[in-house]
Amino acid sequence: MFLKSQLLLGEEGDFRKFAMFAENAKRAKPINPIQTKLPLTLEKKERIALIGNTLFDRMRNFGHFEALIQKAHPKHEIILRNLSWSADEIDLQPRPANFADIEQHLTSFESSLIIAAFGFNESFAGNKGKKDFEIRFIKFLNDLKSKTYNGISAPKVVIISPIPNENVAGVNAADMNNANLEKYTQVMEKVALAEKVGFVNSYQYLLPRMDDQSDDLTINGCHLNEMGYLEFSKVLFQRIFSKSIPPLDNDVKAAVIEKNNQHFFRYRPLNTFYYTGGRRGSYGYLDFLPAMRNFDIMTSNRDQRIHKLVMGLNPNPIINDSNVPPLPITKESRGANQWLSPREEKAAFKVDPRFEVSLFASEEEFPDLACPIQMRWDGLGRMWVSCSTTYPHVYPGQSPNDKIIILEDIDKDGKADKSSIWAEGLNVPLSFEFGNGGVYVSEEPHMTFLKDTNGDGKADLREIPLTGFGCEDSHHALHDFAWTPDGDLIFRESIFHHTQVETPYGPVRQQNSGWFAWEPKLHKLTAFGTHPSTNPWGVTFDDWGQHVASYPIFASAHHALDPPYPEQHPRPSGLQAYSGVCGQEFIDFPNWPEELQGMMVKVRYKSTNRVELLKWKEYDYGFEEEYVSDIIFSTNLSFIPVDLRYGPRGAMYICDWYNPVKGHAQYSLRDERRDRKSGRIWRIMPKEAEPVNPPKIYGTSLPQLLNLLKQPEYRYRYWAKREIREMEPIKVKSALDHWIKNLNPEDPRYRHHQVEAMWAYRNVEQSNIPLLAELLQCENHNARAAAARQLRYWHSLSKQGDALLKKAAFDQNGLVRLEAAIACSYIGTEKAFETLKAISTQPNDGHLSYAIKTSFGSAPMRKFWDPSNFKVKEPIVYNFLSIQKEQEAKVEKSRSDKKFDRQKNLLKVKVSCLKERMLFSVKLMMKPNLGEYTISSTGDILAKKNQPIRIEFSNPDATPHNLVLVQPDSLREVGLAANEMAKDPNAARDGQFIPASKKIITHTKMLKQGETEVLRFKAPRKPGVYPYLCSFPGHWTIMKGNLIVK
């Protein structure tokens, strides 16, 4: 349906042939396989496909292997495509929704030679999984070699074994993995020989080089660096072709990398959920398919350049893309918001009279500030800002050129005086954070590390420590980088995404939102807290290290390790969780009013645009926020606050992604009205408050940094620990041992100082078990909770680990028991499981109940109970989960409702929001009380005049939604009236967005996530088309349908 409507806009014909959709992309026909013998002789115009895991996926960034092939075959005009995907296994290959599988891509490419690299991720199943792997591998090869991908013949197939691992600083990967890798390589070699395909034992040939301690060939023990890929490419070339290795040609290698980049934009585009998935209906055709055509042409142009180079024809250094046609004009379905200058925008702010708002920086003085996303402060008191004009993604003919800039207030007058570019050429850097002497930055599908190695103020080192994060939605991608108080770098993704990342400890997979914790020095990635979510932004920690976010608000309750992949934890019921929020910060600077200390400031970008003030309130089993008032409310909806941070002198700064176009689904991704020039940073200070004199951070001695851990200001402690992490761990431990001995027990913050010391130990991979034990039995429940959290990591370091966990499990305070419950999922032993059961039998509710439930559901705990058969074997678990289910059940309907629902001609309707789809799903029960619902394919509800109608409306989405039924021809009028309400702070505070219109027939309230409301009414007596909509501002253009009365 959507293709037909959009084809009318395309002047250049049907672009559907450029789509690679799982639902309709061409598949190969079966054929009798051929034998592949090494060495290979390549045919002219051979089409070589690389498939496999991260070993090949990362190889696209280096170019050695293809350069060698092309140089050795200068007249063959070989075409090579890298179709690998990080952490792929032979039969486990998660992809974006409706994304064509590997067979379909091989068929589209018309591959004649397939080189496949698998076995690394499979090897983590160990000896127990070896036989199963052999069976899976035989099936994989039989299928792979028996298809005619080029439409003519069966493919030649060459299998590449895993490479050996090596021991490097932080992880002894060889000691952990090589025994299994060798065994799985032997299985692969045996099967390859039996199935008559080529095989290269790269494990055997690279092992001597890996054992050589003179230099590292990997970045983390298992993934090759530049030198490693050169050695690996030589092994592949020699073993596959048995030819002399041609001399390295840097021009050819560079041409290969450039070709790979253009193909990568086509094969792995950002925003794939809008290309192949559930949101392609509105704009996907014209947004993506013409671009796919153009990327194909540009990739082919680069193939030709490679061929000319190896033939010695010396092509023009500037690639000729004159054959690439322009993209067709995309449609503009709705109006944009009003653009204002910074001065005019400030005038549209309604500001709490206790505060002053001033402009720190804007595009007027600093053009590089265009499209700012995140802010961070360095140890010199400078603001760093990531900016993305590439967003939402790269289009043909463009190169990613996003930036991290540095803004400096040299004269300390609250206004930036200088801007400089620290890094450029980035690709949608949604978040970043300092660490390891450089910066970790999000560049989906990568987490990239940047560093200035020569001190010239610009990043010159670029590495990719982690790759494989989802690319389905470029503003749902990897974001919210923050250091935990105890030294993990955490970040998260949102809905739609499918992530699989290889690590030396095994593959880490997650889908449809969740958190990750990264330990850089150990090269270790942990996935936790996955559950059906939306697109939440914003992360911070309270004074005692409780994790605060937007979805969920009290994020500490969501730290249980993930369930077995691809499962997710259940959606929380009745717990605070919001979308449309981008950041939080607690008020703790002394120049802010006393009555506000401990409160939280939050920025919101939808449905209203404002800076909120909230209370942070503890209850028996967790924390909740309570809205108080607005510090800023903007009547100009182009104000999009996306981050906020305290600066070192006690002012709070708001990062303003100022843009008249807001949203992915609501507008075309190529909408020309998307602003790529504006960007503002606003500064908030209490009136008459003086800036504080910040302590020195950068270059400060270790004893002085430790004393900064006594500061009441969270950000000073955060910045101090950032410096401490860079220091020698043994020296830090020695200094900490001395520091805690000299703490004053009479200090009101004594326990907090001890907790900070405990966190500091772990920041440098050290421990202090006596301190942990003392805190677990101290008088302060916040300190006990913090100590219980550390049991996740220190439990195994003490012979008393189980006793310490049990003590926390029976603590009288619910917050301590919550942390103990979550720690059980990390400890993962049978004793931890028994402890978790004991926690579940004690009083619990709310966040504590959810923590227990998700810990039971975590992969480590699931080893001890089977959800399909646990009523008898694990009655404690069964009883707990049954009680949870009962508490979440719907309340009994009233007597009058029962009477209405017994009417013989009742039309029953179920309407639900599709999560993050901005659409209604409609089901109709045409025969009353039979319990059989059918899906309305059009979304229309058909009714007779005066027929009783029961609509059960539910909202599984984190964004509030309602259902409003209106008179014929009044959809736009009511929708626009609701939009206007977003500019009214009183209406926004109420949050219902129901216009005062006589055109409204009936409506639900604005439902939060997990809520359901039933409308009971009789259809109008007058036949006609009665629209229904969601009146949340901006939703009505998409979330709509019709009640058709006949």
| CATH code of 392's domain | 2.120.10.30
Q: Residue 279: its pLDDT value, please?
A: 86
The residue from 654, 686, 718 where one domain ends is 686
- Is residue 923 domain-resident? yes
445 cis-preceded (ω within 30 degrees of 0)? yes
Query: Do residues 139 and 34 both lie within one domain?
Result: yes
Q: Which of 495-504, 653-662, 699-708, 899-908 has the lowest mean pLDDT?
A: 899-908
Query: Do residues 520 and 584 both lie within one domain?
Result: yes
Euclidean distance between CA atoms 918 and 915, whole angstroms:
7
Give the three-class secondary structure for 543.
coil
If you search the block for the tokens 């020095």, which residue do you land on?
521
Q: How many CA atoms lie within 13 A of 311 on its CB side?
A: 12
| Residues forming beta bridges with residue 519, ordered by sequence position | 524
**Structure-model confidence comparison of residues 664 and 963, the more confident one:** 963
Q: What is the pLDDT of residues 877-927, one digit of tens each?
A: 999 988 887 776 543 456 678 788 888 889 999 999 876 666 788 887 755
Q: Residue 892: its pLDDT value, please?
A: 40
Instruction: Report how many domains make up the chain.
Output: 4
Q: What is the pLDDT of residues 241-281, one digit of tens each?
A: 999 999 999 999 999 999 999 999 999 999 999 999 988 87
If you search the block for the tokens 């299928």, which residue do you land on?
143
Q: What is the pLDDT of residues 573-606, one digit of tens each?
A: 889 887 788 999 999 999 999 999 999 999 998 8
Q: Residue 923: its pLDDT value, please?
A: 83
Q: What is the pLDDT of residues 600-646, one digit of tens each?
A: 999 998 888 999 999 999 999 999 999 999 999 999 999 999 999 99
Average of per-residue pLDDT across 47-51 = 99
If you search the block for the tokens 């095994």, which residue do you land on?
506
What phi, psi does 898 have (nearest 5°)?
Answer: -60, -40
- Is residue 692 domain-resident? no
Query: Do residues 633 and 515 both lie within one domain?
Result: yes
Closest CA to 641 of 670, 668, 612: 612
What does pTM read for this prediction? 0.89
Question: Residue 5 pLDDT > 80, yes or no?
Answer: no
Closest CA to 622 of 514, 517, 562, 544: 544
Spatial strand order of the sheet with 372-377 comes to 372-377, 383-387, 402-408, 418-426
Euclidean distance between CA atoms 140 and 137, whole angstroms:
5
| Residues forming beta bridges with residue 1024, ordered by sequence position | 1045
Q: Residue 937: its pLDDT value, please?
A: 80
Question: Residue 170 pLDDT > 90, yes or no?
Answer: yes
What phi, psi does 64 have (nearest 5°)?
Answer: -60, -50
Closest CA to 571 of 960, 884, 1028: 884
Q: Which of 199-208, 869-878, 917-926 has the lowest mean pLDDT?
A: 917-926
CATH assignment of the domain containing 95: 3.40.50.1110
Residue 1003 CB partners (closer than 8 Å, separation 6+): 962, 963, 964, 965, 994, 1015, 1031
Q: Which of 10-14, 330-334, 884-888 has the lowest mean pLDDT?
A: 10-14
Query: Do residues 159 and 256 both lie within one domain?
Result: yes
The residue count of the chain comes to 1046
Q: Which of 124-133, 284-293, 521-530 has the lowest mean pLDDT?
A: 284-293
Q: What is the distance between the terminal CA atoms of the chain, rounded to a whole angstrom? A: 26
Contact 124, 42 (CB under 8 A): no
Q: Residue 141: its pLDDT value, please?
A: 98
Query: Do residues 819 and 918 both lie within one domain?
Result: no
Question: Residue 733 pLDDT > 60, yes or no?
Answer: yes
The residue from 867, 887, 907 where one domain ends is 887
Identity of residue 324? V
Query: Do residues 780 and 846 both lie within one domain?
Result: yes
In this prediction, residue 931 has a pLDDT band, given cuts at 50, 70 and 90, of: low
How buried is 690 (Cβ within 10 angstroms: 0-12 exposed, 13-18 middle, 19+ buried)? exposed
Query: Do residues 784 and 918 both lie within one domain?
Result: no
- Is residue 459 domain-resident? yes
Query: Do residues 459 and 551 both lie within one domain?
Result: yes
Contact 636, 984 (CB under 8 A): no
- Is residue 279 domain-resident? no
- Is residue 638 domain-resident? yes
Q: Residue 1010: its pLDDT value, please?
A: 84
Closest CA to 682 of 945, 965, 375: 375
Query: Do residues 657 and 741 both lie within one domain?
Result: no
Query: What HEC string does 111-129 produce?
Result: CCEEEEECCCCHHHHHHHH
Identity of residue 586? F
Structure-block tokens of residue 618: 């503890």
- Is residue 213 domain-resident? no
In this prediction, residue 983 has a pLDDT band, given cuts at 50, 70 and 90, of: confident
Structure-block tokens of residue 470: 């989802």
Query: Do residues 742 and 872 both lie within one domain?
Result: yes
Identity of residue 932? E
Angstrom distances, CA of residue 314 to CA of 210, 245, 251, 256, 309: 38, 22, 10, 15, 6
Question: Residue 721 pLDDT > 90, yes or no?
Answer: yes
Q: What is the pLDDT of residues 548-562, one digit of tens each?
A: 998 889 999 999 999
Structure-block tokens of residue 309: 């180079």
Over pLDDT 70: what percentage of the chain?
97
Query: Do residues 844 and 905 both lie within one domain?
Result: no
Average of per-residue pLDDT across 924-945 = 76
Mean pLDDT of the chain: 94
Euclidean distance between CA atoms 967 and 970, whole angstroms:
6
Q: Residue 197: its pLDDT value, please?
A: 99
Average of per-residue pLDDT across 480-497 = 97
Which domain range does residue 952 map to?
Answer: 895-1045
Contact 69, 80 (CB under 8 A): yes
Average of per-residue pLDDT across 140-162 = 98
If you search the block for the tokens 């549209």, which residue do you land on?
348
- Is residue 171 domain-resident? yes
Query: Do residues 778 and 835 both lie within one domain?
Result: yes
Euclidean distance between CA atoms 702 and 695, whole angstroms:
14
CATH assignment of the domain containing 1004: 2.60.40.420
Contact 384, 660 (CB under 8 A): no
Q: How many CA atoms lie within 13 A of 425 on its CB side?
A: 7
- Is residue 9 domain-resident? no
The residue from 837, 865, 887 where one domain ends is 887
Q: Residue 928: its pLDDT value, please?
A: 52
Angstrom distances, CA of residue 255 to CA of 61, 258, 260, 308, 315: 11, 5, 9, 11, 11
